[in-house]
Structure 1
Amino acid sequence: MRTALLSSLVALAGFATAHASEPLLDLQLGATPLKAEYARSPDERARGLMERTELAADRGMLFRFGDFRRHCLWMKDTPLPLSAAFMDEQGRIVDILDLQPLDTTIRCSREPARYALEVNQGWFRQHRLEVGDQVTGIPD
């Protein structure tokens, strides 16, 4: 029993270390830098920031969608209050939404988007970012 428990803990520690060691993107939103995790695959997008209880003030998660259209987000199993900016294929912000913790309401972009960027709620407002502003540093 102890061996099984120890093996499980070692496996979990390895997962946490691997996840934490993934390189972060260096994004620039106006004059404001931001480090972001990058969710490219359907599984990574589905997982998003679920079950996270904190997000550093200068961190976020960038989602890349497989197609350019209106996309939607929800906060199932996500206890953090977040804001999300949707961006077009050139990284121009086309919509910004505030998302409430654990809310299963589906919230969609007003315009077609290729990307979404989730940060702590109010981050875009705090940095005076709005629709039309540019996000740079997004990988091709």
Structure 2
Amino acid sequence: MRLVLRSFHPFRRFDFFRAIRSLAIALVLPLAALSAVHAQQLPPGAKQPTDFPRAKLTAGMFVIDAAVAASDADREQGLMYRSKLAPNEGMLFVFNENAVHCFWMKNTLIPLSIAFIRADGTITDIDEMQAETTDNHCPHNNGVYALEMSKGWFASKGIKPGMKIQGLPQPH
């Protein structure tokens, strides 16, 4: 049996760390590219989620961080292209007329619950909506607001028709 002793060479250790660094870069770059591609899925002219004005609403003891869609373009985009919502985050749709306002889920990637609300803040109807469908979701009553939250949010919090949402901005 022959024993071979190799002398320690400091550059071999450097090569090991260079390999680790190269591996880390090889793993991180595709993830960064994937994030960039995901962020670019918004069509030209669409608002980023952070570009919508915000309102703090309350439903019972729950505080809601709502993006506000009060213009035609903002209401048309709504929560389209979003892949997630924070636990108490939603979108408030503000209309200029007291009417039946219907919704659908085209290009909406996450299932949502929607509460239809009168001008005085009273919830009239709540409906569950499946992602990426074109089914119409219409309230039985006229209203000025609609509040979209993650699917099941209203039921999980015990929020029902007849209850009020506080902090609603005035329609224009």
Q: What TM-score do you get using the length of structure 1 for normalisation?
A: 0.85
* 1-structure distance, mates of 2:166, 2:71: 21
| Residue 75 (structure 2) aligns with | 45
Query: Whose strand fraction is larger, Structure 1's or Structure 2's?
Result: 1
Quote how far apart the aligned CAs of 1:71 are.
1.1
* RCO comparison, higher one (Cα < 8 Å, 6+): 1
**Where in structure 2 are there 5+ consecutive unaligned residues?**
1-35
| Residue 101 (structure 1) aligns with | 131
Quote how far apart the aligned CAs of 1:69 are.
1.1
| Residue 55 (structure 1) aligns with | 85
Quote how far apart the aligned CAs of 1:18 are.
7.2
Percent identity for Structure 1 against Structure 2:
37
Query: Whose helix fraction is larger, Structure 1's or Structure 2's?
Result: 2
Letter of the 2:153 counterpart: W
Q: 2:52·2:68 contact (CA, 8 Å) conserved in 1?
A: no
Quote how far apart the aligned CAs of 1:16 are.
9.6
Quote how far apart the aligned CAs of 1:31 are.
1.1
| Residue 28 (structure 1) aligns with | 58
Matches within 5 A, 1:1-140: 20=50, 22-140=52-170
Q: 2:111·2:130 contact (CA, 8 Å) conserved in 1?
A: yes
* 2-structure distance, mates of 1:22, 1:64: 13
Q: Indicate the SS of the match to 1:44.
A: helix
**Where in structure 1 are there 5+ consecutive unaligned residues?**
1-8
* 1-structure distance, mates of 2:108, 2:56: 24
How many residues in Structure 1 have an aligned counterpart in Structure 2? 128
Quote how far apart the aligned CAs of 1:66 are.
1.8
